[in-house]
Every structure is written in C-alpha cells, then in structure tokens.
Chains A and B, each alone.
Chain A
Amino acid sequence: MTKSGFVIANLFRKRTRTILTLLSVITAFLLFGLLQSVNTIFSAGADFVGATRLIVQARVSFTSPLPISMLPKLEAVPGVARVGYSQWFGGVWQENTPLIMFSIDPLRHHDIYPEYVMPEGEWQAFANTRTGMIAGKMVAEQYGWKLGQKIPISSNIFPQKNGSKAWSFDLVGIFDGKDENWKKRTNIVYVQHDYFDEANQFGMKGRTNFFILRLTDSARAEATARTVDAMFENSPDETKTQTEKDFNISFVKQIGDIGLIVRWILFAVFFTLLLVVGNTMAQSVRERIPELAVLKTLGFSDRSVLGFVLAEAFALCLAGGLVGLSLASLAGAMVEKGTGGQFQLHLDGSVWLLGALAIVLMSVAVGLLPGLRARRLRIVDALAGH
C-alpha cells in the first residue's frame, strides 16, 4: 500500500465521522468564498481601472455640479490628454429599476474610455443623434433592448421642460468591454449631455457632476490632481481630484461598515470550523494510538507518523475546501446572473488564493497537535495502555 493510499484508507476508517467532518469543512469554505468575494468588492476596488484617469468633482461633494466652463482650464493642465464629463441622470427603467445612467459628451468619452468597444459607426451615430443613447451589453441584454428601438426611461431627478419625468431615447449603440473585467462593467447607460442640458427643466444648465481627465502618464497622476485642485482653490467651485480607482473605492466605502461585519463573520466561521475539525482529528488520533504504536514498531520514524496525521488533516481540508469554494463560485455566478450583473459576486483569483492559504493554515492548525502527540508516542506505553 502506498503512503497516500494509507492516508485515504485511514480517513474512511470511520466513514460517518469523515463525511460529517468533510461536510462541515465544505460549509465553512462555501461561506468563506461568498463572504470573501463580498469583502473584495468593499476593500480592494478594481485594480484594472488603473491610474490613467482622474475624476474631478466638487470638493463639497459630487452631488454639487461643477460648471462645464471649467473645461478649457482643465484641458490646459500639463499631462492631461483629453477631458470628458459625465452627469448623473437618475434613470429609472419601468416601475422601479434604477439604472446606472449618465449624460456625457459622446466623442470625448470615446477617447477617454478606449476600454469600451463599439463599432465606430455607432459612436458617430451617438454623436449625431440628439436623443441618442448607448447601453452596455449587460444592461441591453438584461432588459432586451435592441438597436434602433426607442427606450422609455424616466428620471427620478430631472423633469423635462414640459414637467414630465418620462424621457425617451433612441438606442443607437451597444458597447462591450475589451476584456473580462471591462465586460463586467457594461452595466452602464449613456445619453447625450447636450440634449439633456437643453431639455431638462431646471437650474442645472451648463453643469456636470464629474470631469474625467485622461492622462498622458499615469505616474504623474497625484501631481496632476494637486495642480487641478490648486487651480480652483477658494472659488465657489473648489474641486477634489482623485484617481478613478480611489474614486471607485470611496464610492463603495460609502456603504459603510459592511466590510467590518463581514470580517467578524469570517472570524466566527473559521474559529468554529477550527474547533470542529481539530476535535475530530484529535479524536481519530486518540483512537488509533495502538495502531500508531504498531507502525512505529514496524520501523516508521517519528517524523513519518507525524506526516501521516498531517496528511490526513490536509486531505480533509483540501477536499472540503475545494468543494466548498466551487460551490461558492457556482452560487456567486447564480447571484450575478440573477441580478443582471448589478451585484457582482465573483470569486476571482484572489479569493481562490486566499482560500488555498486558508486550507494550508487550517490543515496545520488542526493536524499539528494530534500529529505531535503521535510523534511523541512511546511504543511501550502505547501498547501497554491498550
């Protein structure tokens, strides 16, 4: 019999116990995977967004719009390649489904976000159609929008000149992302800012929530941000400029202390799990003391006996961990599909990596004490004790 065969055979010595332990490891890693992926949403922010873009908002808060007349000043800042802007529309689809929807300058946005892929003709159509609208592939698919359709959308903020909040736009383009990460960010809808600015009823004229600066060199992002903020200091339109990545993190962090709660839950789960599996391992070693003594009598070294116990713990944690994380992936994908990408519960590489680390750490934590006990075992005592 090979050594690994021996380890597996030992695991199935008490089938009920092994299966039950395995099941608790699986549930723990299922939770670990789900919670950790929620946690990544809150803590890390998207690395792939990079620092090539700066977001300029009003210092007081991004809900106070800035005048679009700032545009030439921003364009003159050294290191800025192209400037665009976007204004929150407060779009609502059908009864009560909020949309991530902005009014923008089409061609400027095209230059600033090369990560969004759309045929050149559709960009032109967007620029040339006053009531034009483009939608990310994800939204378009979820609500069944087709090119050329008129899409009725209401705004929970802006009425039109006639007082009605029911707007209607022509869908002239559907954009996709250049890679997996950007494909996930196609849950956005854009309309023309010129049309919005003219057609809406009140005091927003010539203003926008955000300017987006595309930089020539991402290494100078911090310095450029400081230059911009210094330009408008002490004016009514003081600015706060940060990299797109920092902006996204701040935005998500607004949801507050959920990250903290998630960490507490993770801690509770792992502590519980450690006890369960640890206890099982200890028990299984206790029961097998005579057998271990026999192994030692046969000439197995102290170290290889320790190895057997550790390997057993590792096998349990590995099998349970892999199954649990796979289940979490599956569940996450289902949530993502069910919410049409609004809630992206995706188990990315970093979650798997952390999971792998947790598997290794757990194996050591639960296997070490019983393993050391097995190694210390003196043959005479063990055999006599029986």
Chain B
Amino acid sequence: MLSQALAITGINIRSIPERWAPSLVIVIGLAGVVAVFTALLAMAAGFESTLQATGRTDAALILRGGSDAELNSAFDRDSTDLIKQEPGIRIGGDGKPLASAELMIIAELVRKDDLRHGANITVRGVEPQAFALRPQLKIIAGRNFTPGLRELIVGRGVIRQFQGAELGQVIRMRGSEWTVVGIFASGDAHESEMWTDANVARSTFARLGSSSVLAALDGPDGLARLKSAVAAEPRLTMDVMREQDYFSGQTRQFRKTIGFLAGVVTLIMGLGAVFAALNSMYAAVAARGKEIATLRAIGFSGLPVIVSVMIEALLLALGGAVLGALVAYALFNNLSVSTLGQNFTQVVFNFKVTPELVVRGLIIAVVIGMIGGFLPALRAARLPVTTSLREA
C-alpha cells in the first residue's frame, strides 16, 4: 500500500514538468497568499517589537489622571517637583531622585517621498536624568545638545523617513531656529523623536509644566509604593504605570486592526487559492485519467491514488508557500515605515518577518493544499476504470 502510493507519487512528481502551467497556478496562488499574509503580520510584529523595546520594567511613567497619552497630559511645575519627592523613586548617584520631567510637543516635518504633506514628529524636552533612564540611547553622530541652547538631537528613524533633520540642518519652530547637532540610535520608539533641553522647550513653547515624568523605580515594590503615595496625596491626580505597560498598551489597537485586515485578506485570497488549486488538480487528474485507470487495472487500489494526488497538491502548495515567504522576506523584511502612534505623532518601525510567521504561512499553505487536493483525489480514485481506458 505504502509502496504503491510512493510509486504513483513518484510518477506524478516526475511528470510535473510536463504539465508545468497548471502546477504553476497552485505554486503562484499559494505564494501570493503566504506573501500577503506574512507581509501584513510582519508589519504588526515590527511595530510591536519597536514599542515593546521602548519601555522598561524598572521605570514608571506618570501622566495626569485619565489622559491615556503623553500628548493629552500636562501638569504644572509644582506637581512635577512634588511627585519627584514621592517614595518608590530610586535616588541617583548625585543624591537626587532619578526622574526626568519631560515636555512633549509636536513639530511637523515633511516626508522624503511626499513634499506636500507634513507629518507630526514628537519633540521631547528632557532633563539630564533622561539619559540615565534610557541607557540604550547612544549618540551615533555629532554630539549631545547643550542645555540652554536651541539645539536638537534627532533619532535615526526620523532621518530615515523625513527630510530637513539631517546633522547641521536648521529646523524652524515658533519663529525660532533650532540646529540639529547630533543623531542618536536607541532601537526603540524614541528613534522617531527629536530631543532637546526641557527648559528651552518650555520657554519657546510658552509651556510652564511638563507632559510626563519618567522615574526609575526603587526595588521590586517601588511601583506599588509610588502608586499608593500618589493616591494618598490630595494635590496630585495622576496615573502611575510601569513604563513598559504604557508602551505595550499602545500596540493593542494596531495589532487588532492589522490582525483583522490580515485575517480578511488572507481568508478571501485563500478561498481564491483553493478554487485555483481545485481547478488545477481536477485538470491534472483528468489529464492522467488513462494512466490512473491503467494502474487500477493492473492491481493498484484506490487509496494510493488518493494519497498520491494529495501529496502532489501538498508539495506544490508548500513550494508556493516557501516562495511566498521568500518574496515577503526579500521585499519587506527590515522595510522601514512609519505610522501614527498614540501621541498622534509618527512612530518609525521596521517590518519583521519572524520564523513564527513563516511557520504560520506554511500551515495555511498545507490547509489550502489539502482542501485543493482532496476532492480531485477522490474523483481520481472513483474514475470507472473501463470508461477511462476507452476515453481519449
């Protein structure tokens, strides 16, 4: 039985080159499905990994109560000073709390590929502790900004997607000129930002307070202590959250949207591929009707015929899936794109074609190949031997 199935499969596969056109339909059909599926989810994966890398577990982000995003949050200088003194915040080497009150503002830059329409970019005014709180951030060209001067350091993601922010260029904001003095890399969402001195940002934008405070946590129970201290302080109405939770929370909506899109598109395209595969396999079976009948006449049973047709469909489908995954990898892996983040500013991220996605693509291909092969296989096994032999 097994040897029969193997024998027929061998014949079938060796004859594929003679019927390359219909076989190619299955391969290309599946390649299309898998490529689209992989590319879409690679986008979600890239966005997620960028944001997840941003947040640390041993730091807390403090926003005004109920504001959800830094953009909506604001508090005055008194609250800022007050919160830095709360328990649960780690004390730095200089004896001061390791916390940075930051001001988030938005500037517009123009995309590299679209001169007409501006895109929102985060400008983050930071205090000196900001760099200790984000040790992953490294200046890769130029130097850091000088406190008190209108100087900017720019994330390398911004440089990749937008123009006018190269080293040495001048950006105009609110009637004043800012020089880009450095470029930094951090491997996370901060790469989509431009940083400057918080006090310079405050005076230029006529904003007295801050948008958020980022604070290093003192030990594993730091967050709980900070939370209860803030809750007990009537002068503060603030949300305290783990920095990583804040950033992971932002990916939820995006993942849902892309997941839905990928689901719908894959389902519809998958259906199309099933129809195409059915078509091709029916044709393949019909073309070999005489051959199959001959085999049956000399004693092969029905099951090996079914198995052989299914294996052929599966192999073609898998071939297509591998091709599709390769195409998706070649075209999209590490492709840099940007989209709107929680703060209504651009987040630059790279597509990530992960092994897990490729495996999921292969599974989809196997399912489609099985469905596409089964009915034609059944027909092949049921062909009445005598009529088939007489035909054609």
Chain A residues with a Cβ under 8 A of chain B: 16-17, 20-21, 23-24, 27-28, 30-31, 34-35, 58-61, 63-64, 90, 154, 156-157, 163, 165, 202-203, 233-238, 240, 246, 249-250, 253-258, 260-261, 264-265, 268-269, 271-273, 275-276, 279-280, 282-283
Determine whether B114 belongs to the interface, using a CB cutoff of 8 Å to chain A: yes
A sample of 18 inter-chain contacts (CB < 8 A) reads A34-B264, A59-B174, A61-B106, A61-B118, A63-B71, A156-B68, A238-B172, A240-B108, A256-B337, A258-B339, A265-B40, A269-B36, A272-B33, A275-B25, A275-B276, A276-B29, A279-B21, A283-B21
Question: Once the chains are docked, how many angstroms separate the CA of A269 from the CA of B266?
Answer: 10
**Known interface pairs A17-B279, A61-B107, A165-B66. Does A256 touch B32 (Cβ–Cβ under 8 Å)?**
no
Residues of B within 8 A of A60 (CB): 105-108, 173-174
Question: Once the chains are docked, how many angstroms separate the CA of A268 from the CA of B331?
Answer: 12
Chain B residues with a Cβ under 8 A of chain A: 21-22, 24-25, 28-29, 31-33, 35-36, 39-40, 43, 65-69, 71-72, 74, 105-108, 114, 116-120, 172-175, 205-208, 237, 264-265, 268-269, 271-273, 275-276, 278-280, 282-283, 331, 337-340, 344, 346
Q: Across the interface, do B43 and A261 meet the contact criterion of CB distance under 8 Å?
A: yes
Task: Pick from B35, B278, B339: contact of A256, CB below 8 A.
Answer: B339
Q: Across the interface, do A282 and B340 meet the contact criterion of CB distance under 8 Å?
A: no
Q: Across the interface, do B172 and A246 meet the contact criterion of CB distance under 8 Å?
A: no
Residues of B within 8 A of A237 (CB): 174-175
7 new A-B contacts, CB < 8 A, other than A16-B282, A60-B174, A283-B22, are A35-B265, A157-B72, A233-B175, A250-B117, A253-B117, A272-B273, A276-B25
Task: Pick from A249, A271, A283: contact of B117, CB below 8 A.
Answer: A249
Question: Once the chains are docked, how many angstroms separate the CA of A203 from the CA of B273?
Answer: 58
Residues of B within 8 A of A24 (CB): 272-273, 275-276, 279
**Known interface pairs A17-B282, A64-B105, A276-B25. Does A154 touch B66 (Cβ–Cβ under 8 Å)?**
yes
**Known interface pairs A21-B275, A272-B29. Does A254 touch B22 (Cβ–Cβ under 8 Å)?**
no
Residue of B nearest to A328 (CB): B268
Question: Once the chains are docked, how many angstroms separate the CA of A156 from the CA of B344?
Answer: 14
Question: Once the chains are docked, how many angstroms separate the CA of A63 from the CA of B344?
Answer: 9
Q: Across the interface, do B172 and A257 meet the contact criterion of CB distance under 8 Å?
A: no
Q: Across the interface, do A202 and B74 meet the contact criterion of CB distance under 8 Å?
A: yes
Residues of B within 8 A of A233 (CB): 175
Q: Across the interface, do B67 and A256 meet the contact criterion of CB distance under 8 Å?
A: no
Q: Across the interface, do A17 and B283 meet the contact criterion of CB distance under 8 Å?
A: yes
B79 CB, min distance to chain A CBs, angstroms: 12
Q: Across the interface, do A63 and B106 meet the contact criterion of CB distance under 8 Å?
A: yes
